[in-house]
Amino acid sequence: MRGMFQPCFAIMLADIRSALRYPGDILSGLSFFIMITTLVPLGLGSDQGELARIAPAIIWIAVMLASLPQMDRLFTRHAKDGVLEQMLVSPAPMAMLMLAKILTAWVIIILPLVLAAPLLGLMFGLPFHMLAGVLGFLAMGGLCLVLIGAMAAALSLGSRQSGIFTAIIVLPLSMPVLIFGVAGISAIQTDHAMAGASTGASTGASTGHMMLLGALTLVLLVLSPPVTAAAIRFSEE
């Protein structure tokens, strides 16, 4: 059992060390996310009501666009240095190794965007007591995006136009995540408006959207690792 989990921890640790050693990808994604969400209020003006109304859609679109280029490079470096070949002969199941890499990618790609979201949410006029619910939707939806992105990156691995192929696969499959995420944050706004914005709890429709997004996350957690592993095994043959 220890021999199965040790390669997973080694992959997670190596990816985190690599991200800290070369933080350009993290900073570029974070900068792009901040730039998008900053330019929209500057273009629309200071109408807080309008900004709060469009905030869920703008934040989610910014998360998708900021994370997409990094998803395309999930396996590129490992394919060049032979790490993928070592994964194939590892005693741990390939699907388990892919799950470890996907969870690490969530930490590297999505977590910085989630942590930056509260400040940007305040800029859009979102009340402070709503931010916990917003973070929950972004964290769970971001995991869905990475699970989808891993499958797309594995399927397009080795292609000369891998970035285009990854985008073609990710964007349509991410539509349910975008719909549930935007609707969930909008429902939180409605819940707090009806409750007089007196507490930080989100109830009613937002709970239903969170459950739908959670169900989608569970489905992708089951499907994405084996599909990603099969695609990488096929590309390395």
- Alpha helix (H) ranges present in the chain? 2-21, 24-44, 48-72, 76-81, 83-88, 94-105, 111-123, 131-155, 162-173, 175-194, 205-236
- Residues 134, 185 contacting (CB under 8 angstroms): yes
**pLDDT band at residue 196 under the 50/70/90 scheme:** low
Q: To the nearest whole percent, how much of the chain has pLDDT over 70? A: 91
73-126 pLDDT, tens digit each: 888 877 777 778 888 887 788 899 999 999 999 999 999 999 988 888 878 877
124-137 pLDDT, tens digit each: 877 777 888 889 99
Identify which of 192, 214, 186, 191 has the alpha carbon closest to the alpha carbon of residue 204: 191
**pLDDT band at residue 237 under the 50/70/90 scheme:** low
Residues 6+ positions from 176 with CB-CB distance below 8 Å: 216
What pLDDT was estimated at residue 201?
Answer: 47
What pLDDT was estimated at residue 111?
Answer: 93
CA distance 76 to 81: 9
CA distance 50 to 163: 34
147-182 pLDDT, tens digit each: 999 999 998 887 777 778 888 889 999 999 999 999
Angle at 5 between CA 3 and CA 9, to 5 degrees: 120
**pLDDT band at residue 197 under the 50/70/90 scheme:** very low
pLDDT greater than 70 at residue 209: yes
What pLDDT was estimated at residue 203?
Answer: 52
CB crowding 19-34: b at 16 or more within 10 Å, else e: beeeeeebeebbebbb
Q: What is the pTM of this model?
A: 0.89
Identify which of 107, 111, 88 has the alpha carbon closest to the alpha carbon of residue 16: 107
